[in-house]
Structure 1
Amino acid sequence: MLQFFKYVLATIVGLFTFIFLFFLLIIGISSIFSKPDVVSVKENSVLKINMNQQILENSSEADPFMELLGEGSNQIGLVQLKEAIANAKIDPNIKGVYLDIAYPVAGMATLDEIRKTLIDFKESGKFIYAYGELMSEPALYISSIADEIFINEAGGFEFNGLSSETTFLQGFFEKIGVKPVIFRVGEYKSAIEPFIRKDMSAASKEQVSSYLNGISNYFYSQIAEARGMSMEKTNEILNMPKIHTPEEAVEFGLITKTGYFDQFEDLLRKKLDIKEDKSITYIELNKYLKAKKLVKEGDRNNRVAVIIGQGNIVSGKSDGSNIASDSWIEELRKAVKDDKVKAIVLRINSGGGSAMASDIMWREIELAKKKKPVIASMGDYAASGGYYMAMGCDTIVANPTTITGSIGIFGMLFNAQELMNSKLGINFDGVKTHDYADFPSLTRDMSSVEKGMIQSNVEAGYEKFTTKAAAGRNMDIVKLKSIAGGRVWTGEQGKENGLVDVLGTLEDAIKIAAKKGNIDDYRVAYYPKPKNQFELIMEKLENSSQVRFEEYFGSLAPEMKNIKQIMEMDKLQAKMPFDMRIQ
């Protein structure tokens, strides 16, 4: 009898699983073949933008699971965000923008692009109001151009400067009996420092201080200008220990008012000229993206293709979170073969990765630019392998706060002999046919000859990198090497030393591409195409392991993920000094 109930229960569970998966399949198929409804925008509406999310270069369609639950997404695409704001600028039914903003998750260049788009929106004469229960410095940077900046009077406020912190793992490896074996070229190529040191080297501190101060000067000068303050006064406030409350932020002119959300809405009603007992008509960003497009798209036969690359550079096929050479090259070749595409923009947001994958993509760019203009647009990062991709382009456009350069190569292996033998009691033995048949090995010390073999490969990779960079920049190799060595620069510094041609946004890069492609009336096409709802459903089912990974490691998940990436890396890496956290 117990066995009978066991089979019945299994059948019921299987049936429900089948129904659930069938339901998801129907949703996915209908999302592919159904024509999306155009959302109607009511008169006197306010575009509400929830900025408290991760901001990526390009986002997929709204997550169907989140929509079913009545919840929003936790990601925004920079492309979609700017398109919506540009459309709202000329939409007669949109009277202004409400920024729900406290802690946007984005790099400095991304924040700057959003801010510039909002400044352009204000040229229409429409208002921007910002409200947050608290406000971080990235939130203030965007909000500083708003007509009204409101913080909940019980909230918090951050205005104390920028810092960069690195996690060092030498002590951890010593405890578990693992020795990192390092190979590198360049005094500033400090990507390996977290594995072999317990603090920053003098060279690393020098370059981090240089680019951090460069970013800081730009970042706070923009806030100062928007709030009608001098840089001298701004720096004085930044060094004060007391700017932590909304009231103090109002006192020093950094925000306009404090209050609760109902008081903020009272202010909005006055601006919209509606009665106190009437509700404000908000339209959320995701819905507004489905509204009628008012911005002219241009001639469909003349296109500028923008190929977006974001994340770590690897070989093979992309999982959606990285720049994988095979997948990326496939998109580039599509653009080159498409007769409607007259020019190409490579949007790069990467701190690098595999040296081999970077070189393979560089070669494809060299072939592409023989047929069409190819312009590089740098996002938050275009360093090391990211710069490798950009250096061959006809023109390089960067944001003043872009992290770029880091022209260098390193290699890293691990010797886990002590861990295996002494800590775990595991030993290895074997035979080989030739002297180096077991090279490289993770379970024994490397000989000086073996180390020399890898170091020579690293040095050859560096020579290849610098030679190609010098050729791409039309720069003498001696001068190029003087600014290489793994040194990281801001976009502004890169413009001064010749690594960058133009300081500007993605839109500036698109305009340059169109001019070089001899087209005036054109439309912009983004690749790869964002995922549809069916693809999102399948991805959610496949990615449950990542959720378990983060739950298991908790706050250590980012560090364990970095170690996992290191273990999966190619032998040679063209990667930024380390994963920087500017806060």
Structure 2
Amino acid sequence: MKKFLKYTLAVIVGSLVSVGILMIGFIIMVGIFAAAGQEEVTVKDNSLLVLKLDGPIVERTPDDPFAQIMSEFTGEAAPIGLNKILASIKKASRDKRIKGIYLESGVIMAGHATIEEIRNALLEFKEKSGKFVISFAPVYSQKSYYLATAADKIYLPPAGMLQFQGLSSQRTFFKGTLEKLGVEMQVFRHGQFKSAVEPFTRTEMSEAARLQTQTYVQSMWDHIAAKVAKERNLSTEALNTTANKAPWLQPDEFLVEAGLLDELKYKDQVLKELKDSVSIDYSKDLNSIDISKYAKAYVPDDKRGISKNKIAVIYAQGAIDSGQEGINSEDLSRTIRQARRDSSIDAVVLRINSPGGSGMGSEIIWREVKLTTETKPLIVSMGDLAASGGYYIAAPADAIVAHPNTLTGSIGVFGLIPNVKGLLNKVGITTDGVKTNKFSDLPSIDRPFRPEEKELMQAYIENFYDVFLQRCAEGRSTTKAAIDEIGQGRVWSGENAIDINLVDVLGGIDTALEIAAEKADIKDDYRVVELPKLLSPFEQLMKDLTGNASAFMKNIIWGQSEYLEILNTVESLKESYPIQARVPYEISVN
């Protein structure tokens, strides 16, 4: 027995020591990565900037060594910040060492407005610098091809694939599953088009949901076709004829004959062309630098860097108060408040990429946005999505800027509370309890709402919708009736939104910055301060190891599949505040 205890103790101590050594080694490794990330990046003369966009593109990312390590471990590309991509393209425009951009983004993971922003930056790069952009990929998704049309030349290898067949939007409906489980979703809403609840109450799209979806999808496609036609010197009629033939199923030559491609080339042939473009011998390697490294390279800016004028860009990304990865209303409000009180900041650009979320959280953020507009200019720049609660917080802005393919509007409110009594009965569970007052147990998920409870809940929804209308009417200098006419939960594209006074200007974050500078009467140059401040590498590591662990494991198990979207939908429903101002769950346009 003594030997057993001795060996057991030795195993336990040995295990603890091993874990300790592994942890120390891991921390040292992270420190090495972090130090490497701080090293000065050298850019060789006569170089190409390689824009390989094979990972998720988000609004911005910290310098996270842990993400880089996990990227190497899983083989999946780490997320990259849109802010770094745009800044790098601008920097390359004035960097004499960079001769052009090589674009390789076959299957891009980003929304349509994000792609529009990068595409516009590439077009501006060519126009202002006179440098070239060449695109090559073995496979082009439709989004990737749209980005590639900013290039001077688009190449695909023989037997490659290119998708260009028009847009579609699919929804997933859970009603059948819920019925089998014995779960009834009790719905309270205001808005004919407020279809966020439909996945839980229907098996197909309502006519209202179908109408609004067809409207904004068609608007987005018309914009894409017009922009592609311009750069490829084609007509939109010809492009639609081509799209109707499903080009990815056609012979290789069809893509060239239709004008979608310049030529079919293997990568070695493209590399030779790139060497010709920078005038180096075929026997030598190209000097190139990828976007992640180049983002850290220093290139003097003749116009900015030492100016006393400052504009804050505040990022609001994700659902409002619907989980760790989204917008925390208290945190965002604090950031806006600090920018308002900072006398060194002349104006604010609020960058919104959000489907909305908690009605209460939206109101908390709205208040700080409104107060800021009373002391300094505040301009909203909309990303892929700024709808429902995302529009609620944008409404007080001095000006709202959106891309033509931004999804916005969705001015409406809903409450969704499950009744799981049927499920409990199926598994033999019963509930009972006591209460002191008439509505002490409201809301309860183990029984259906009583008629008078339904009346109270619907009245609460109607009252919040009226507040929503008032906030939008005040912000847009119009009436509640006018907002209600275009509201009712309806989603609009940015291009549609211009015509109905929900958006002021079409453009990206640079457009918003220009408007902010003008309204702040900044005649000279200005500096951009990004808020909230990003975590240090160590702080980011601790966050990844704690709060983000479950999200990381979900991604490992499910990847970027539709099952992950369904899982996120169910979890957001579980965690959500009962009154929601948000768009239909997981809007997806291919």
TM-score class, shorter-chain normalisation, is over 0.9
Residue 48 (structure 2) pairs with residue 46 (structure 1): yes
Q: 1:15 aligns to what?
A: 17
Q: 2:93 aligns to what?
A: 89
Separation of aligned partners in 2, 1:65 and 1:336:
33
Separation of aligned partners in 2, 1:87 and 1:548:
36
Alignment of structure 1 residues 129-140 onto 2, 5 Å: 129-140=134-145
Residue 209 (structure 2) pairs with residue 204 (structure 1): yes
Which string of whole-angstrom CA distances, capped at 9 and with x for unpartnered residues, describes residues 168-189 of structure 1? Answer: 0000000100000000001101
SS at match of 1:102: coil
Q: 1:251 aligns to what?
A: 257
* Residues 237, 243 of structure 1: 8 Å contact kept: no
Structure 1 59/549 Cα, relative in aligned 2: closer, same or farther at 3 Å? Answer: closer
- Out of 307, 329, 334, the residue aligned to residue 330 of structure 1 is 334
Which string of whole-angstrom CA distances, capped at 9 and with x for unpartnered residues, describes residues 195-253 of structure 1? Answer: 00000000000000000000000011111111110011111111114543543222211
Separation of aligned partners in 2, 1:44 and 1:88:
12
SS at match of 1:237: helix
- Out of 214, 223, 228, the residue aligned to residue 223 of structure 1 is 228
SS at match of 1:436: coil
Report deviation, 1:7. 3.0
The residue type paired with residue 130 of structure 1 is S
Separation of aligned partners in 2, 1:254 and 1:32:
43
Structure 1 331/300 Cα, relative in aligned 2: closer, same or farther at 3 Å? Answer: farther
Structure 1 13/133 Cα, relative in aligned 2: closer, same or farther at 3 Å? Answer: farther
Q: 1:56 aligns to what?
A: 58
Which string of whole-angstrom CA distances, capped at 9 and with x for unpartnered residues, describes residues 138-184 of structure 1? Answer: 11111112122122223211111100000000000001000000000
Residue 496 (structure 2) pairs with residue 490 (structure 1): no
Report deviation, 1:553. 6.0
Separation of aligned partners in 2, 1:550 and 1:299:
42
Separation of aligned partners in 2, 1:65 and 1:79:
18
* Residues 313, 353 of structure 1: 8 Å contact kept: yes
Separation of aligned partners in 2, 1:62 and 1:268:
32
SS at match of 1:363: helix
Report deviation, 1:25. 4.2
Separation of aligned partners in 1, 2:49 and 2:76:
15
* Residues 47, 287 of structure 2: 8 Å contact kept: yes
The residue type paired with residue 463 of structure 2 is A
Report deviation, 1:579. 1.5
Q: Which runs of 5+ in 2 are unaligned?
A: none
Which string of whole-angstrom CA distances, capped at 9 and with x for unpartnered residues, describes residues 499-518 of structure 1? Answer: 11111111010111111111
SS at match of 2:161: coil
Structure 1 211/173 Cα, relative in aligned 2: closer, same or farther at 3 Å? Answer: same
Separation of aligned partners in 2, 1:65 and 1:468:
40
Q: 2:291 aligns to what?
A: 285
Separation of aligned partners in 2, 1:164 and 1:341:
41
Q: 1:419 aligns to what?
A: 423
433-442 or 29-38, larger mean C-alpha shift: 29-38
Separation of aligned partners in 1, 2:257 and 2:320:
46
Separation of aligned partners in 2, 1:560 and 1:538:
25
Report deviation, 1:546. 2.4
29-38 or 69-78, larger mean C-alpha shift: 29-38
* Residues 58, 530 of structure 1: 8 Å contact kept: no
Q: 1:37 aligns to what?
A: 39
SS at match of 1:382: strand
Separation of aligned partners in 2, 1:236 and 1:28:
53
SS at match of 2:139: coil
Q: 1:574 aligns to what?
A: 581
Q: 2:108 aligns to what?
A: 104
Residue 483 (structure 2) pairs with residue 480 (structure 1): yes
Report deviation, 1:8. 2.8
Report deviation, 1:476. 2.0
Separation of aligned partners in 1, 2:411 and 2:130:
45
Which string of whole-angstrom CA distances, capped at 9 and with x for unpartnered residues, describes residues 244-267 of structure 1? Answer: 354322221111122322222122
Separation of aligned partners in 1, 2:378 and 2:191:
29
Separation of aligned partners in 1, 2:359 and 2:349:
22
Report deviation, 1:475. 0.7
SS at match of 2:369: helix
Task: With the length of structure 2 as denominator, give the TM-score of the two structures.
Answer: 0.94
State the number of aligned residues. Answer: 579
Q: 1:563 aligns to what?
A: 570
Alignment of structure 1 residues 158-557 onto 2, 5 Å: 158-244=163-249, 246-295=252-301, 296-314=303-321, 319=324, 321-421=325-425, 423-519=426-522, 520-542=524-546, 543-550=548-555, 555=561, 556-557=563-564
Structure 1 151/325 Cα, relative in aligned 2: closer, same or farther at 3 Å? Answer: same
SS at match of 1:314: coil
SS at match of 1:46: strand
The residue type paired with residue 9 of structure 2 is Y
Task: With the length of structure 1 as denominator, give the TM-score of the two structures.
Answer: 0.95
SS at match of 1:229: coil
Separation of aligned partners in 2, 1:237 and 1:391:
40
Q: In angstroms, what is the RMSD of aligned CA positions?
A: 2.0
SS at match of 2:516: helix
Which string of whole-angstrom CA distances, capped at 9 and with x for unpartnered residues, describes residues 70-97 of structure 1? Answer: 9784211111101011011111111111
